[in-house]
Structure 1
Amino acid sequence: MNLHKELKRLENFYAEKPDQVLTMYLNTDLSDPEQQGGEWKIHFKNGMNNFEHYLQESGNKDELKNFRNLKEQLEKFILEYERNLSKSLVVIASTDGELWFAQPIQMPVKTEFYWEDTPQLHQLRELHEKFPRTGIILVQQNNIKIIEAELGAVHDTDHYELDIDTEDWRQNTGPHQAKPSMGSGKSPQKEQFYDRFHANQQRWYKSIAPTLDKLAKDGNWEAIYIVGNKEEAEEIESHMNKPITEIVPKNLLEHEETKVIDEVVL
């Protein structure tokens, strides 16, 4: 998902009666003390019931019928969503079927429901400002890992490793595994590797920079973080054309992706 584009689409949507737009921000974070008993289900049920009672009292049969059809569709979606809960769920849907935006989000929202002729986007805009489309570049000597994320969730990962012998950066498609030979302790082999790496670091990082710039362009990154040894991170920054949001001087290459996001962005 590209939330920037989605917001543009949502901003321009308008429904004419008897059709309307349902906007739902639902906090489903089980780590929240107020959600320990699955209270989000009660909030969802109450929100739907409140709308239904309002429409019954208004006497608008067509609008009530449209709401009930959308409610049924949403209830089916919630049953599937419950199997893999995120921290929050945002749903913006129209009764004419032209608009359906249902996005699990790994960031907290305030539970709110709206039944109007346009989407209510204030919370979604705030979330986008806090966590736009982001590229996190983790560097550790001849290993570079890229995490692409948005709204607290991982969208994609890439890993590149420099072959010292061929001096080529190779993209690894499988899960990255740290090599035992690069662990702690000293050895002639490791000392030789470090000497050669530092002697060629500038040239080797310069060669990977165009690839990183292309990933940023293709992924529409609105924020970029470089994480790792300060000297190495600054070296990569110096060769990239894209502006860097922040350098984070921490070694997080081997950490799980969501932990990296929590540490670097959230």
Structure 2
Amino acid sequence: MTIKKTIKKLESLYLESPEKFFTMYLNTDPADPDQQGGEWRIHLKNGLNRFEKYLDTEDNKDELKKFQQVKKAVKDFFKENELDLKKSVIIIATPDEFVYSDILQIPVETEFFWEEIAKVDQLVRLHQEYPKAGVILTQKEAIRLVETELGKLIDTVVYELDLDTEDWRKHPAVNRNHTSAGANAGKSINLREQFIARFEENRKRWYKSITPMLDKLAKDREWEYIYLVGPHEETHELKELMNKPINACIDKNMLDEHHDKVIKAVHDL
């Protein structure tokens, strides 16, 4: 489910006392000057204890019991995931279950809520800033797709052109090696130069054969933004051939870069 659909679902939910929604946005960014000593642990402890103390003072035993169920589940979550924390954690939970939870590589403002509704204001803002996007990276006969949402990787795949059949073949990961060492190095370089010349002659025709698949993928995966990354001539050729609107082009070769670097590049635009 996309974050857009998740938000819509969360906005439709409502609970009545003694059951309520616990909503937490917690800054766990180790690079944040305010988090150098792992201060998120203190913020988490204080946030949980504040609600517990308030409910105990109000002598609301039923609601206190429900909150304590949530508190235990949240503490268990951090015990299990502490080594995997990044910049932030979002949890939206009821006494019975986690309705939504995620560990993210994007910043949030620390907030805690215990209310009849899930507080999704920050989640809405994050979705606006980091929507579901498809990044299409090109470099000659290889096209790599990086799908991202809320600043994290969802999926990545590579398509390479089979020069014998002139078909694009799908690969699970980047595994490309166009140079060789030793006695055959000169021959390999010469073959590569011949291929580049052939590619430039046939680029439009070869790209035209893959763009219908890219358009369909963008529709099926519900990409809200599409970015093209690669040499200027290639990205702008693809842009002209695709039916889906392209939000931005980055004229830079990043085909073999780590997906985190690719995602950062499009969000820095």
TM-score for the superposition, normalised by structure 1: 0.95
Give the drift of 1:53.
0.5
3-state DSSP class of the match of 2:243?
coil
Aligned to 2:42: 42
1:8 partnered with 2:8 = yes
Q: Letter of the aligned partner of 1:4 in structure 2?
A: K
Alpha-carbon deviation of 1:211? 1.4
The alpha-carbon deviation at position 160 of structure 1 amounts to: 0.5
Write the letter of the residue equivalent to 2:207: Y
Q: 2 CA distance for matches of 1:32 and 1:100?
A: 28
Unaligned runs of 5+ in 2: none
2:234 alignment counterpart: 232
The alpha-carbon deviation at position 175 of structure 1 amounts to: 4.0
Does residue 196 (structure 1) correspond to residue 198 (structure 2)? The answer is yes
> Residue type of the partner of 1:132?
P
Corresponding residue pairs, total: 263
Deviation at 1:154, TM superposition (A): 0.4
Give the superposition deviation at 1:24.
0.2
Match of 1:263 in 2: 265
User: C-alpha deviations, 1:160-216, integer Å up to 9, x for none?
Assistant: 0001221110111244233225xx999432221111101100000010101111221
Question: What is the identity, as a one-letter code, of the residue corresponding to 1:113?
Answer: F
Where does the alignment leave 5 or more consecutive residues of structure 1 unmatched?
none
Q: Is the 8 A contact 1:145 1:253 kept in 2?
A: yes
Q: How far, CA to CA, are the matches of 2:162 and 2:97 in structure 1?
A: 51
1:248 to 239, 244, 250: 250
Matches within 5 A, 1:42-61: 42-61=42-61
**Partner Cα separation in structure 2 for residue 237 and residue 89 of structure 1:** 36
Across the aligned residues of Structure 1 and Structure 2, the Cα RMSD in angstroms comes to 1.7
After superposition, give the CA deviation of every residue in 1:54-81 in whole Å (9 maximum; x if it has no partner): 1011111100000001111111011112
Residue 99 of structure 1, CA deviation: 5.4
Length-normalised TM-score, structure 2? 0.94
C-alpha contact (below 8 Å) 1:146/1:158 kept by paired residues: yes
Distance across 2 between alignment mates of 1:55 and 1:262: 42
1:57-72 alignment runs, 5 A limit: 57-72=57-72
Rounded Cα–Cα distance in structure 1 between residues aligned with 2:75 and 2:166: 55
Instruction: For residue 241 of structure 1, report the CA deviation from its aligned partner.
Output: 1.4
Structure 1 equivalent of residue 210 of structure 2:
208
Name the residue aligned to 2:221. 219
- Please name the residue that 2:31 is paired with: 31
- Distance in 1 between the 2:34 and 2:218 partners? 38
Q: After TM superposition, where is structure 1 displaced by more than 6 Å over at least 4 residues in a row?
A: none
Contact 1:178–1:254, Cα closer than 8 Å, also in 2: no
